Copies of this chain bind each other. A is one copy, B any other.
């Protein structure tokens, strides 16, 4: 999956690993997150497979060498193939708080409530953060040459941001319901 996110961004313009990490943090991280270590190793792999090409920027003996990746035709084909493939099944959800709730029936309710209220504050913060974001904010990171092409993507970016907001709002409503339920036991 990370593979296609990297190809997707590189389809807009050539970028370095560091820039890709920043882009992901500012845009895809609410539905797909990656550590820099995984990004760098995956870029190398895609380079080896011929889906990307790379070159080092700066003088040959400069200490600070940025490696900039460019998508190849093979990479573009792979990305478009993947985008066209239907998702066969619903992906498995993994949600860390839920197993704790599931097995919390024998815990002291005060401790459970405290934890859920802490969670509530964190989710509220996240929602506030999303509400402050503009989906166009990514345009600032992308080169001006690529912006005309990329402008058409803005409503799709906005759709994923909307998902983030709905998710956090749903989570808050569920926490409120669950807190009330436990408080009433």
Contact = CB atoms under 8 A, between A and B. Distances in A.
Interface stretch (A13-21, A40-48, A62-70, A89-97): A89-97
A122 B31 contact: no
How many copies of the polypeptide does the oligomer hold?
Answer: 2
B11 A98 contact: no
Interface residues of A, number: 68
Contacts of A103: 4-5, 8, 11, 79, 83, 153, 156
A99 to B, nearest CB: 5
Given A84-B111, A123-B90, A155-B105, A98 B166 contact: no
Contacts of A93: 30-33, 167
A177 B162 contact: yes
Contacts of A86: 115, 118
A63 to B, nearest CB: 33
A6 to B, nearest CB: 10
Contacts of A89: 122
A181 B106 CA distance: 46
A131 interface: no
B83 A107 contact: yes
A153 B106 contact: yes
Contacts of A167: 93, 170
Contact of A156 (B101, B156, B157): B101
